[in-house]
Amino acid sequence: MMQEDLPHPAPHQDFLHCLDRNRIRLSTQHDADEVFLTILDFIQRQMDDRTLAIEIQSLYKISVETQVQCLECNNVQTRNSHLLSLPLHIKEDRNSLKDCMISFFEQQELRGIDCCFCAQCEAKTPTKQGVKLCSLPQILCIQLKRFRNIRGFTRKLNCSVTFPEKFNFSELRREAFSSDFTQNDCRYTLYAVVVHYGDAMFGHYTAYVRQRLSNRWFYADDSHVSQSSWENVQKTEGSPYRGTAYMLMYRKDPKEDDQLPDLSG
């Protein structure tokens, strides 16, 4: 948990060396979302307390249902799975978090080389595919997919993605939710933003974190931590001359799941 008498050097060397021993090299640039998922995987594979390891993963687990509908015979296949972060595609223009969410849950038609195999037709056929929410986690991690491969070259999109301090999932279209979804109140509050400086080939990550008790924002750059503000957080929404928000962490409002253990710091 963040302390009130910041800024002070935040101890991190042991953690970094632990990552290095597990093949996340300190001298190499990494994708922040991949490192986050790798750390959660390490917890599952290496933690002796299995109950605690499962509780930690469940904090981030987004349960989803993938539906694939054959457009020839209308046969529908469903598959349940989970994500630990929500990867949102962004347009090369202005975006809002809500629009990116709506786009993620929209059904897409797959034709040509993208056709899927239909067991009933016994052939690859034009298909409609979509993802629906089954349940939301205590902590929602969102990845803004700013890195894009275009004709063999990876480049970074610095376009604007506006995001609110408060987000209510119930405002999304009903089509985004599966028939098994039972959570009535889905209000979230932003508590952390991972920021990327640089381009696709090199760069630097920093973070803004909201202290839970005081509700104040702090800025972390390596071991240096200083007090900041929501106005500074908003400046990361998108610009080629500033750091841009790459990962967003939203915490479910406590009144919804008071019975859950607080393992999020």
Name the pLDDT band for 1 (thresholds 50, 70, 90): very low
> For the stretch 124-160, what's the b/e string if a residue is b when 16 or more beta carbons lie within 10 angstroms of its beta carbon?
ebbbbebbbbbbbbbbbbbbbebeeeeeeeeebbbbe
CATH topology of domain 30-47+60-252: Cathepsin B; Chain A (3.90.70)
Question: 110 falls in which pLDDT band (50, 70, 90)?
Answer: very high
Which residues lie below 8 Å from residue 92, measured CB to CB, with a gap of 6+?
157, 159
Per-residue pLDDT, averaged over 3-19, amounts to: 67
Mean pLDDT of 111-123: 90
Report cis status (omega within 30 of 0) of the bond before 126.
no
Q: Are the beta carbons of 84 and 149 closer than 8 angstroms?
A: no
- Give the closest residue to 161 by CA, choosing from 206, 209, 100, 87: 100
Residue-wise pLDDT tens digits, 118-155: 989 989 999 999 999 999 999 999 999 999 888 888 88
259 versus 117: the higher-pLDDT residue is 117
Domain residue spans of the chain: 30-47+60-252
Strand partners, 183: none
Q: Find the angle CA(90)-CA(32)-CA(228) to the nearest 5 degrees.
A: 85
The one-letter amino acid at 39: I
